[in-house]
Amino acid sequence: MSYRTARQSDPELRFSDTEIRDLAIAWVTLSVAFALLFAPVHRGKSVGAFVTMVGLSLVTVGVAFLLHEIAHKVIATEHGQIAEFRADYQMLFLAVMGALVGFLFAAPGAVYHRGQVTQRENGLIALAGPVTNLLLALLFLPLVILPEPFGTIGQMGIWINLFLAAFNMIPFGPLDGKSVLEWHKGVFAIVFVPTVLLAAYVIVFVGPFR
């Protein structure tokens, strides 16, 4: 997710210690939450299966989340913004608690950017995250035909990235879809409709594992 707060001239793309810390905490927490969802150790899954799933989630969920947020930051910086990611610790706690009961709401934080932007620029900043997830889904696709564990990594990568792309394109609250819709209804429809349909098919009929 991205969130506009308030144009700086030629800001540099750099990461503060606080930002790196928040990215790392969100990466690990989201990975654990997804592992609890996919391999619920509290519901009888073995500790070994859970630990394996944490590792798989760090590679798939972690990369999907991290590059999504960095994409927001890169595009915001290119449009003259000062941008940093901040974790939402309440939402991270909710993600873990939700995963324990079989439901996951993945909103770990947002890239906050400061400076004057047009509605178009704000829409492009928001769009960068979901589009990055769609591209990552394509990059994970070839892994599906490879032997384990690469096949499972590929399928999980596709599942997670399509889920995150569709979820973040919902035009509600701080999610990316709202900013894209406010900028250009046509662009929103072109991205939102096929993304949601494809994500729904993969989530319902394919699943995250081979």
117 to each of 38, 73, 121, 171, how far by Cα in Å? 40, 14, 6, 20
148 is annotated as an active-site residue = no
Question: To which H or E segment does residue 2 belong?
Answer: strand 2-4
Token output for 85: 């990611």
Mean pLDDT over 94-119 rounds to: 89
Radius of gyration of the chain (CA): 17
Measure the CA–CA gap between 181 and 192, rounded to whole angstroms: 10
For residue 8, the model assigns a pLDDT of 47
Q: What is the pLDDT of residue 189?
A: 97
Cβ atoms within 10 Å of 45's Cβ, excluding its own: 15
Show me where the domains of the chain are located: 17-206
The span from the CA of 98 to the CA of 154, in Å, is 25
Q: H helices within 79-184, ranges in order? A: 89-100, 119-140, 150-168, 176-183
Angle between helices 185-201 and 119-140 in degrees, nearest 10: 20
| Lookup: tokens for 111 | 């890239």
- Exactly one of 12, 19, 69, 121 is catalytic; name it: 69
Least confident range of 77-91, 98-112, 132-146: 98-112
pLDDT in tens, 142-166: 999 999 989 999 999 999 999 999 9
Task: Give the residue carrying structure tokens 């750099």.
Answer: 14
What is the tens place of the pLDDT at every residue in 3-31? Answer: 555 444 456 788 999 999 999 999 999 99
Coil, helix or strand at residue 106: coil
Per-residue pLDDT tens digits for 38-91: 999 888 889 999 999 999 999 999 999 999 999 999 999 999 888 999 999 999
